[in-house]
């Protein structure tokens, strides 16, 4: 692979989400923005959730449904980020071209890994509690909601975590257990309360259930139709998402 090919490959990874921001600003429609950015409608929703969850302030404001599959616009924070990204793009190309050889670019690519976890919530470490070989990490999300992650003490040291550290909590959609709010909360589990924003049925698997949290972040859970019917959950219903501290993975910026 040539250096120019490597540069093109690197630039095509992370910025697809930012390309979606640009199209949302131009189109004002999730469906049209997804098509222009080369994403499926479902992938566009995933990208918007991820962008809002990784930011301390929502970047995209959405209206579910309506003509064109739902309206969307950038928030002031989203507009600032898009302007910054556009200024940085030219500098990014110059920096990548300055790499010594293709091996440097391949290494950089490995460091820019993406994750399969659907839920990525940004937050800050409020406390670290030692429990033998493990640590229980208290994390505060924007808006004040809390969750806990259980990781090894070695992981705490490798991530260089301390009070005030910025972290990303990763939770797979299949790990979330949804319950109506009137159901008693399970002890020793994380519990985030929100409202069902959208249910996207799948032809050959569980449905995507998107939960809007009060702070503007979004969770995605996977539930089959039988379980949805059993719980009686519908769009607009308040809901609790529960998950164990051991099911939370943590990431930090390099």
176-214: b or e for each residue (b if 16 or more CB lie within 10 Å)?
bbbbeeeeeeeeebbbbebebbbbeeeeeebbbbbbbbe
Which tokens sit at 235?
């769009």
Can you give the pLDDT of all 254 residues of the chain as single tens digits? 444 454 444 444 456 778 888 899 999 988 999 999 888 888 888 888 888 888 888 889 987 655 545 588 999 988 988 888 777 766 666 655 665 566 665 565 555 556 778 898 989 999 999 988 999 999 999 999 999 999 999 999 989 999 999 999 999 999 999 999 988 887 778 999 999 999 988 778 899 999 999 998 999 999 988 888 899 999 999 999 999 999 999 988 65
What's residue 107's pLDDT? 61
Q: How far apart are the first and last CA of the chain?
A: 26
Q: Report how far residue 173's alpha carbon sits from residue 200's, in angstroms, rounded to the nearest whole number.
A: 13
**Burial (CB count <10 Å: 0-12, 13-18, 19+), residue 121:** buried
Options 3.30.2350.10, 2.40.50.100, 3.40.50.300, 2.60.40.730; CATH of 116-254: 2.40.50.100
The residues spanned by each domain of the chain are 3-111, 116-254
Instruction: Classify 3-111 by CATH class.
Output: mainly alpha
Q: With 0-12 CB in 10 A as exposed, 13-18 as middle and 19+ as buried, what is 11?
A: middle
Supply the pTM of this predicted model: 0.70
Q: How far apart are CA 110 and CA 108, in angstroms?
A: 5
Q: How far apart are CA 120 and CA 50, in angstroms?
A: 6
Question: Which phi and psi (to 5°) does residue 35 adopt?
Answer: -60, -45
pLDDT at residue number 98: 61
Q: Report helix, strand or coil for 72.
A: strand
Nearest alpha carbon to residue 153 among 123, 127, 175, 131: 131
3-state SS class at 77: helix
């Amino acid at each position: 692979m040539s250096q120019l090919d490597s540069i093109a490959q690197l630039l095509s990874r992370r910025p697809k989400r930012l390309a979606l921001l640009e199209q949302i600003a131009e189109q004002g429609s999730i469906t049209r923005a997804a098509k222009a950015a080369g994403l499926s409608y479902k992938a566009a929703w995933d990208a918007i959730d991820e962008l809002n969850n990784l930011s301390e302030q929502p970047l995209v404001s959405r209206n579910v449904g309506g003509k064109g599959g739902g309206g969307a616009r950038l928030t002031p924070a989203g507009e600032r980020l898009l302007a910054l990204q556009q200024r940085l793009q030219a500098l990014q190309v110059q920096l990548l071209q300055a790499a010594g050889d293709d091996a440097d670019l391949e290494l950089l690519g490995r460091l820019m890994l993406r994750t399969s976890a659907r839920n990525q919530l940004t937050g800050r470490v409020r406390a670290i509690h030692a429990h033998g070989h493990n640590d229980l990490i208290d994390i505060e999300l924007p808006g004040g909601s809390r969750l806990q992650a259980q990781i090894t003490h070695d992981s705490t040291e490798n991530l260089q975590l301390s009070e005030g550290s910025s972290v990303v909590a990763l939770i797979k959609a299949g790990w979330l257990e949804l319950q109506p709010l009137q159901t008693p909360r399970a002890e020793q589990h994380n519990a985030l309360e929100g409202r069902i924003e959208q249910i996207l049925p799948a032809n050959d698997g569980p449905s995507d259930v998107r939960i809007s949290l009060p702070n503007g972040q979004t969770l995605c859970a996977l539930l089959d139709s039988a379980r949805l019917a059993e719980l009686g959950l519908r769009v607009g219903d308040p809901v609790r998402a529960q998950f164990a501290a051991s099911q939370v993975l943590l990431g930090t910026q390099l």
